[in-house]
Amino acid sequence: MFHQQDHLKSQLQDGPPPSRQLFHCQECGKQYNTQLGYRRHVVAAHGGGAAVPCPEGAPSLLEHLGSHIDRPPPSEVGANAAVPVRERKYSCERCDRRFYTRKDVRRHAVVHTGRRDFLCPRCAQRFGRRDHLTRHLKKSHAQEAGLMPPCTPMAAAAPAPAPQCPVKEEPSPVNADISAVPKDTMDTYSRDMYNSYPMANPVPGLGPPHGLMQGSLPPSMSVGRHMTPQSHHHHLQPPGTPQQPPRRSPTATVKCWVKGGGQRRPPPAVRSPAIASAELSCTTNMDLGPLLGFLPFSLPPYSPHMGMGGLVMSYPPATTSSSSPSPSTGLSSQPPGPFPFFQPPQAHVAQGPGGHNHSQLPQSYNSPAMSSSSALPHYYQAFQQ
DNA sequence: ACATGCTCCGATGCATGA
DNA sequence: TCATGCATCGGAGCATGT
């Protein structure tokens, strides 16, 4: 049992995976798996930041960067001053953020809905965007993909386009369009995982490859981290309830609100109950009964407590806050030992006073190892206590 | 022409091991 | 405490559909 995802990965791989490019620091010889790490290292260890002079002569990089805030790109103003300043004329209804295009607004909406419809078939981690999943697959599972056997149980079992993850539900947030096949993802896996490697079961302990796992699980089946505390709690907090402290530092909020950077979330906006209610109603409630038969092992028996018609991919209720975290509010999403790519559907199950009903879970779920959370961030693991 | 979807990329924060 | 890996996010380019 691996208590950390990278431990598992390091176990699975001997040395850097061939699919990963190594970035060598020519000054000290260090190697980095990612360009980011390399660049960070260069900046931190070798003063790489100073090697990039500011064309405008700002005394410091930070100061210079700040000077670009809300300014159009130089390419748009430098050559021709008559070019109108590009403005972000598309605003988000739920926050004060503005975007250049409507598609950006749409994509941004995931931040508010917290929807994570893109499920990693390898580790059951969920992503709100397809490209996030794609990147995750490439970065985190490239090696595993390389070890995947050529068998295509999914294709064999389902000649027609099989339900694949991610399940995309737009425009209807309620009806899951399980026919939506992630083109790039499945392309990647169909090429890299199924067609190129002859090993039958190359990873002892991971269990036999199962077709269902190749992206066939709809989001509802996975109870992964489909909602970040930051995007969920403080948005869905009923008025008057204490605000969930943001996962990221308060300074991040201030800083991120400046142009650039990953965490650009604006200060938590006051959400109307209507919006909160709408978000709750946007949670996916899918009847997964027909899919249960495909599962590789027995699942807990169907229970109406599991939601409207089966397992529910729904966000923890609004009452779920840091003050009273349910011991099982969908956060026990760790890939269980022999099935690192699958998660027991115990999350979001309405819990009685007794909490987990482990008796309904397969035996493996009751193992102590199951309680460990390797891939989950700390703040999720805390909820599993 | 415009809208939309997909994808790549860079920037940033968080988690975690050393 | 620092270095590193990874997730998250927005910007932007390209392809496709209407």
Asked whether residue A118 is assigned to any structural domain, the reply reads: yes
Asked whether residue A332 is assigned to any structural domain, the reply reads: no
Name which of A307, A162, A92, A187 is nearest A100 in CA terms. Answer: A92
Asked whether residue A99 is assigned to any structural domain, the reply reads: yes
Nucleotide nearest A28, from its CA to each C1': C3
Can you give the CATH number for the domain in which A103 is found? 3.30.160.60
Alpha-carbon distances, residue A269 vs A92, A93, A100, A275, A335 (angstroms) = 11, 11, 21, 11, 34
Type of residue at A150 = P
Please, which positions of strand B sit below 7 A from a protein CB?
A: 3-17
Find out whether the peptide bond into A219 is cis, omega within 30 degrees of 0.
Answer: no
The CA distance from A345 to A124, in Å, is 12
* Digit-coded pLDDT (tens) for A138-179: 777 766 655 443 333 333 333 333 334 444 343 333 333 333
**Average pLDDT, whole number, for chain A?**
45
pTM: 0.43
Closest residue to B15 measured CA to C1′ = A377
Asked whether residue A132 is assigned to any structural domain, the reply reads: yes
User: Using the CB atom, is residue A49 less than 7 Å from strand B?
Assistant: no
User: Using the CB atom, is residue A139 less than 7 Å from strand C?
Assistant: yes
Nucleotide nearest A41, from its CA to each C1': C3
The mean pLDDT of A94-112, rounded to a whole number, is 81
User: Using the CB atom, is residue A100 less than 7 Å from strand C?
Assistant: yes
Structural domain span for residue A104: 90-141
Asked whether residue A135 is assigned to any structural domain, the reply reads: yes
Q: How far apart are the first and last CA of chain A?
A: 18
Three-class SS of residue A62? helix
Residue A103 CA, nucleotide C13 C1', distance (Å): 14
Q: Over 70: is that where the pLDDT of A300 sits? A: no
Q: Over 70: is that where the pLDDT of A94 sits? A: yes
The CA distance from A274 to A86, in Å, is 33
Name which of A50, A52, A44, A6 is nearest A25 in CA terms. Answer: A44
Asked whether residue A229 is assigned to any structural domain, the reply reads: no
Asked whether residue A126 is assigned to any structural domain, the reply reads: yes
Q: What's the confidence (pLDDT) of residue A224? A: 34
Type of residue at A205 = G
Asked whether residue A200 is assigned to any structural domain, the reply reads: no
Q: How many domains does chain A contain in total?
A: 1
Please, which positions of strand C sit below 7 A from a protein CB?
A: 2-13
Alpha-carbon distances, residue A141 vs A87, A134, A280 (angstroms) = 39, 10, 32
Q: How confident is the model at residue A122 (pLDDT cuts 50, 70, 90)?
A: confident
